[in-house]
Amino acid sequence: MSLKPRNPKGGRPTKETAARLGEHILEAALQEFIAKGFEAAHMEAIANASQVSKRTLYARYRSKEELLRASLDYAVSQHLFQFRSSPTFGDVRQRLATTARGILEVSLSPTGRGIASLLIWLAHHRPHLREQVRNQTTGDAANILREILEEGAANGEIEVADFCSISRIIFDFLVTGPHHKIVSGTAPDLLARENEWFDQALDFIMLALRARAPVGCSSARSEKGI
């Protein structure tokens, strides 16, 4: 993303530039944090990359920590979950597969892996922020899966007693677990046999969805996140 060059004579920015400035700052901040980590990232470098002054940057974000949180919120919405609604074609199994594959692939991209690294840093140094971002990450993805489950139950494809908990379980099973195994190297061949693994996982999930096994939402909450 690029902005029009700033007017050397100063003055107020154009409406187009002003509208894109916030997103431009957050993208620049995200890339700085991913490249250098929180502690080595500099507000001055982010300001330069954003084509704004440090004064303007601090007027929007009072601290580097506040900017990190905002950039991660932006990353979740713009990079991890670009789609906000579920696929409209196919049965429940096909739609779950399409959605989960899409999220997993994005989470394994360079930006997705960078976001994961930032979350690991937060877990050790700012656990309260990490929990907030994790909840948003899981919540956004689970809502997409939940929509698929609700529509599948409405047309009689599946029987689900608790859309909230089961959508989060499916997210962990199809996205969080594989992501951690691939990134950590504990299952280096998982991508190579992705189709086989997804077929087996979806067979298991569909059996469970048709078994009508109720699970309490609070007890099913994951302790992991992308």
Specify if 200 maps to a domain.
yes
Specify if 95 maps to a domain.
yes
Asked if 105 and 188 sit in the same domain, the reply is: yes
DSSP one-letter string for 14-28: PHHHHHHHHHHHHHH
Asked if 56 and 158 sit in the same domain, the reply is: no
What SS3 class is residue 226?
coil
pLDDT tens for 167-212 read 989 998 998 888 888 888 887 677 777 778 888 999 999 999 987 6
- How many whole angstroms separate alpha carbon 155 and alpha carbon 142? 20
Asked if 179 and 120 sit in the same domain, the reply is: yes
Tokens coding 21: 């400035």
Assign residue 189 the CATH number of its domain. Answer: 1.10.357
Residue 88 is part of which domain span? 82-220
**Count of domains for the chain:** 2
Is residue 188 within 8 A of residue 180, CB to CB? The reply is no
Domain closes at, from 73, 101, 118 = 73
Tell me which of 40-54, 89-103, 116-130, 142-156 is least confident: 116-130
Asked if 68 and 89 sit in the same domain, the reply is: no
Specify if 68 maps to a domain.
yes
Asked if 32 and 105 sit in the same domain, the reply is: no
Asked if 46 and 129 sit in the same domain, the reply is: no
Specify if 6 maps to a domain.
no
Assign residue 28 the CATH number of its domain. Answer: 1.10.10.60
Asked if 68 and 104 sit in the same domain, the reply is: no
Asked if 60 and 118 sit in the same domain, the reply is: no
Asked if 111 and 204 sit in the same domain, the reply is: yes
Asked if 188 and 166 sit in the same domain, the reply is: yes
Specify if 5 maps to a domain.
no
- How many whole angstroms separate alpha carbon 179 and alpha carbon 103? 10
Supply the pTM of this predicted model. Answer: 0.74
Asked if 176 and 124 sit in the same domain, the reply is: yes
Is residue 119 within 8 A of residue 226, CB to CB? The reply is yes
pLDDT tens for 49-88 read 998 999 999 999 999 999 998 998 888 777 766 666 677 7
